[in-house]
Structure 1
Amino acid sequence: MFKNYNMNQLVLPLDLEVNLQNNDIAFHIHCLVESIPQEAFEPFLRNEGCPAYHPRMMLKIILCGYTQSVFSGRKIEALLKDSIRMMWLAQGYEPSYRTINRFRVQPEVKELIRQCFVQFRCQLVQEKLIDQEAIFIDGTKIEANANKFTFVWKKSIEKYHQGLIEKSNQLYNELLEKEILPEIERESEEELTLEELARIVQKADDVINDYDKKIEASSDNTERKTLRSERKFPKQVRKQLLDYIVRKQKYERHFEIFGTRNSYSKTDHDATFMRMKDDYMKNGQLKPGYNVQISTEGQYTLAYSLFSNPTDTRTLIPFLDEIEQHYLPLPKYIVADAGYGSEQNYDDILSNRKREALITYNMYLKEQNKKYKQNEFNSVNWLYDEEKDTYTCPNQQRVVFKYHSVRTDKSGFEREFKIYECEDCSDCPFRSLCTKAKEGNHRKIMVNKKWEQQKEYVRAKLSEEKTNSIYRRRKIDVEPVFGFLKANLCFTRFSVRGKSKVENEMGLALMAVNLRKFTVNTLVRT
């Protein structure tokens, strides 16, 4: 005996929602998008043309596709015909892949994604899944949708540009020496601008035209031959100058794209070449990518941002600004690893934002070693006389204060140092172990009092039981999110180009990770 099976009979109910499980991820996607205020959808309103698909529906089906590790517009379109949850979310509509792709890269979608994160956080607070005591910050690099071998390096462009400047100056000076062209007014003696090169080309044209008129007016073959010979050099100069103008315009476009970066990809100008941890060629090859910064709590992403610089140190301050302006007020504790430990970052968190920084620095773990603490040639372990402001080296020589020094980094942040120098390093039996200074020079040490105070603050905070327990949560809070993103969701490479489009896709992928985890946690709680 078999169960009833009849393909020719209508089966009820027709409502697809009945066929979904009670805790299906589609319900969480639906609730999240419906919680977004109506004002966020007003920029999508159009008074002309055919009525558009509702942006709530479009956002739901794209988020649902991403939660199923489907990032292609064509595959999302196919799911609309195959997946019950996608059919229910779309309510029978079947937008084409072109419509899906156009929607997810619109600038207005960025605000919808931001609202998703804000509303999702409110839901986490309501469900008591986060305590809002601390945020955990970390970054990862994700490969851009760009050719791996279309790199442009800033140092190379600077080298070629400098060579062009020298050649153009040399050619201009040669024209003046041979009295072919009159001298022109220059903004700078070091470099000819594009406008100045264009004026020189115009004057070269005038000289060539004068020779042409003389040749046409002359009937003497010998004279005509001489004039042609004299015209040859100005024509060569004009051709060279036109080539210089084209090259200079190209180099200036390169510098404009570079900005503060050292490289970019020709197929995605916003992507910077970085070293990826997942280097499948095993040769340290640089690949175009973006530095993704996220802040988490309870293994949920609460905010994110993309940066073009490969290191994390200079991303912290702008990322915290972005969090405060668009996502959430900063909690009491800001937790991050040693990659963010710098004097500027500590100063910003402690002084400007009035928060507590649970961020280690590069030498924190090494300073805990017994070998480091017992190294008598390490200036940190030298005896310091506060009254005389002197140190005592292992050879019992005084290391006295000499002068103040101020260093300014690329971002404009100033660090103040006190420079100390040993009174006499000559005939020191420990010289080879203590310093690499040349013979006749004495050992110098640089002391940054503010930096030492900040390091002492970090060591004191991490020695407290409560703050140390919060810092220890960092590894099990923020780092697993990247594992969920890359290993579970299989999101390892962007499918769009341009920073604004990449930001939208990154937000969709991170929200998909949040929804998958929230669905599992809800199932466990019930």
Structure 2
Amino acid sequence: MYKDYNMNQLTIPLDIEVMIPGDDIAVAVNEMVESIPEAPFKAFEHDFGASSYHPRMMMKIILCGYAQSMWSGRKIEAELGDSLRMMWLAQRQRPSYRTINRFRVHPAMAALIKEAFIQFRMQLQAHDLIDADAIFIDGTKLEANANKYTFVFRKSVEKHQEKLRAQSRLMYDTMHAQMIIPALLEESESLVTAGHLNTMHQALETVEAGLTETIDATEAVEARKAVRAKRAIIRKTKRKCADLRAREEKYTGQLAILGTRNSYSKTDPDATFMRMKEDHMRNGQLKAGYNLQVASNNQFVLGYDLYPNPTDTRTLPPFLNTMRDQFGHLPEKIVADAGYGSEANYELIQDAYERTALIPYNTYYRERKHAHTTDAMHPANWAYDAENDIYTCPDGRAIRFERYADRTDHYGHTRRLKIYASADCAGCALYDQCIKSDRRINKRIQKNMNLEYFKAQARRTLSMKENRMIYQQRKIDIETVFGNLKANLTFKRFSVRGARKVKIETGLALLALNLRKFRQIQGDLSAGI
């Protein structure tokens, strides 16, 4: 016996909403988008042309599509005719994939996504699903929608530009000596710019025109040949000058795009080449990508931002500013791994933001090992006389304070160092173990007292039981977010290009990730788990 099945009998359709379970992802999407105030949607209004689809509806279908790992506008369009949840969210409206793609990169989407994160965080707080005391910060690299062979590297550009400018200077000196052009540079100047090359090119055109008039006015064959030979040289020089000018403009433009970066992709100039964990060839190949920084709590993303630099250390200051000013959430405790443990970051968190940093420094774990604490040759284990500011080495020799020194790194941060030196290391039985240099020199050590203070603060803070438990939660919290984003949501590569569009797509993907997590919790609660 079979259940009743008849394709020829007309049935009355039910309201789609009745067929959507209460813990479905579409319900979570609908509630979250409806909670957003009206103000961010005002930017989508227009007073001319045909009426457009409502931005709330467009936001819902895109978020629902992203929550099901659909990154293509065409796939979302197809689902509008196949999926019950998509039909319900769109109320049977069917915008085209072009409309969907235009909407998700609309300039007003940035403010809308920011407000969505704020409203969702308030919803999580209302349900007591996040802790207001701490946020966990970490970064991951995502591949850009760019050709991996269209790279531009700073070192290569600077090398070719240096050779080019040497040729430009030689041409300038030659033309100035031949009185073709006047002096374009001051005595102290040596750089021939694209503007100078343009002036030189115009001067060559004038000389060429004069030679052409001379040829036209000359009847003697030999004389005409001699002038044409001169014109041929001028024309060759003019072509070379035009080539130098074009290349100078090209290299200058590339350096302007690079800014402070070391590389970029021609197909997505905002993307930087960096090493990815997804290295299937295992050859360390660089790929164009973005460094995604995320702040989470209880595996919910509370804020995010994208940066072009591959290292996490320099992303913390601007990211904390983003969390405070844009997402309005900067709790008491900032938790991150040792990749963020720098002097500048400690100083920023404790002095500027007046927060507690649960961040180990780069040698924190090594210093806790038995091999380090028992290493008599390491200066950190030497006896120190605070009253006289003297270290004593294992051979009993005094290492006295010598002078202060300032060291400014590549990014402009200045460190104040204290230099200590031994008066004489001659005859020391431990010399070869203590000093690795081939030259016979005395022992010198340097101490960054500001960093030493912050390191002591980090050791004291991380030694507290409560803080230690919070820090141990970091891996479970933030790493799970990245695992869900890349493995479960399969969001590993962007489908749009440009920093602005990429940031919007990232926000939509992270909102979809939050909604999936929220729906799962609601399902567990309803099932009594």
Instruction: Report the residue type matching 1:210 in the other structure.
Output: G
How far residue 196 of structure 1 moved from its aligned partner, in angstroms, is 1.4
Q: Which moves more between the two structures, 172-181 or 511-520?
A: 172-181
How far residue 110 of structure 1 moved from its aligned partner, in angstroms, is 1.3
In the alignment, is residue 50 of structure 1 matched against residue 50 of structure 2?
yes
Superposition map of 1:489-500 within 5 A: 489-500=489-500
Residue in structure 2 matched with residue 507 of structure 1 by the alignment: 507
Superposition map of 1:53-92 within 5 A: 53-92=53-92
SS at match of 2:303: strand
Q: Whole-Å Cα distance in 2 between the matches of residues 185 and 177 of structure 1?
A: 13
Structure 2 residue runs without a partner (length 5+): none
Aligned partners of 2:180 and 2:203 also within 8 Å: no
Residue in structure 1 matched with residue 143 of structure 2 by the alignment: 143
In the alignment, is residue 486 of structure 1 matched against residue 457 of structure 2?
no
1:133-189 residue CA offsets vs partner (Å, 9 max, x unmatched): 100000000111111111110110000111111111112112233444432344962
1:63-99 residue CA offsets vs partner (Å, 9 max, x unmatched): 0011111111111111111110000000010111111
1:254-313 residue CA offsets vs partner (Å, 9 max, x unmatched): 011111110001111111001001111111111111100000001000001000000000
Residue in structure 2 matched with residue 162 of structure 1 by the alignment: 162
Aligned partners of 1:272 and 1:290 also within 8 Å: yes
How far residue 214 of structure 1 moved from its aligned partner, in angstroms, is 2.5
Percent identical pairs in the alignment equals 49
Structure 1 residue runs without a partner (length 5+): none
Aligned partners of 1:437 and 1:443 also within 8 Å: no
How far residue 60 of structure 1 moved from its aligned partner, in angstroms, is 0.3
CA RMSD of aligned residues (A): 1.5
Aligned partners of 1:350 and 1:356 also within 8 Å: yes
Superposition map of 1:308-327 within 5 A: 308-327=308-327
Aligned partners of 1:66 and 1:512 also within 8 Å: yes
With the length of structure 2 as denominator, give the TM-score of the two structures.
0.97
Aligned partners of 1:186 and 1:192 also within 8 Å: no
Q: Whole-Å Cα distance in 2 between the matches of residues 11 and 227 of structure 1?
A: 95
Aligned partners of 1:197 and 1:245 also within 8 Å: yes
Aligned partners of 1:415 and 1:448 also within 8 Å: yes
Residue in structure 1 matched with residue 237 of structure 2 by the alignment: 237
Residues 188, 41 of structure 1: CA spacing in aligned structure 2 closer, same or farther, 3 A cutoff?
A: farther
Q: Whole-Å Cα distance in 2 between the matches of residues 6 and 154 of structure 1?
A: 69
Instruction: Report the residue type matching 2:473 in the other structure.
Output: R
Q: Whole-Å Cα distance in 2 between the matches of residues 472 and 187 of structure 1?
A: 64
How far residue 13 of structure 1 moved from its aligned partner, in angstroms, is 4.9
In the alignment, is residue 449 of structure 1 matched against residue 449 of structure 2?
yes
Aligned partners of 1:186 and 1:196 also within 8 Å: no
Residue in structure 1 matched with residue 423 of structure 2 by the alignment: 423
Instruction: Report the residue type matching 1:41 in the other structure.
Output: F
Q: Whole-Å Cα distance in 2 between the matches of residues 301 and 507 of structure 1?
A: 10
Q: Whole-Å Cα distance in 2 between the matches of residues 365 and 395 of structure 1?
A: 28
Residue in structure 1 matched with residue 332 of structure 2 by the alignment: 332
Q: Which moves more between the two structures, 127-136 or 225-234?
A: 225-234
Q: Whole-Å Cα distance in 1 between the matches of residues 323 and 338 of structure 2?
A: 20
In the alignment, is residue 284 of structure 1 matched against residue 281 of structure 2?
no
SS at match of 2:287: strand
1:22-57 residue CA offsets vs partner (Å, 9 max, x unmatched): 211111100000001011100100111110000000
Residue in structure 2 matched with residue 366 of structure 1 by the alignment: 366
Superposition map of 1:88-103 within 5 A: 88-103=88-103
How far residue 382 of structure 1 moved from its aligned partner, in angstroms, is 1.2
SS at match of 1:119: helix
SS at match of 2:362: coil
1:317-341 residue CA offsets vs partner (Å, 9 max, x unmatched): 1001001111123111000000100
How far residue 230 of structure 1 moved from its aligned partner, in angstroms, is 3.1
With the length of structure 1 as denominator, give the TM-score of the two structures.
0.97
How far residue 490 of structure 1 moved from its aligned partner, in angstroms, is 1.0
Superposition map of 1:161-310 within 5 A: 161-186=161-186, 189-310=189-310
Residue in structure 1 matched with residue 344 of structure 2 by the alignment: 344
SS at match of 1:328: coil
Which runs of 4 or more aligned residues in structure 1 lie more than 6 Å from their structure 2 counterparts after TM superposition? none
Residues 232, 4 of structure 1: CA spacing in aligned structure 2 closer, same or farther, 3 A cutoff?
A: closer
How far residue 439 of structure 1 moved from its aligned partner, in angstroms, is 2.3
1:206-242 residue CA offsets vs partner (Å, 9 max, x unmatched): 2222322222222232322332333333322211111
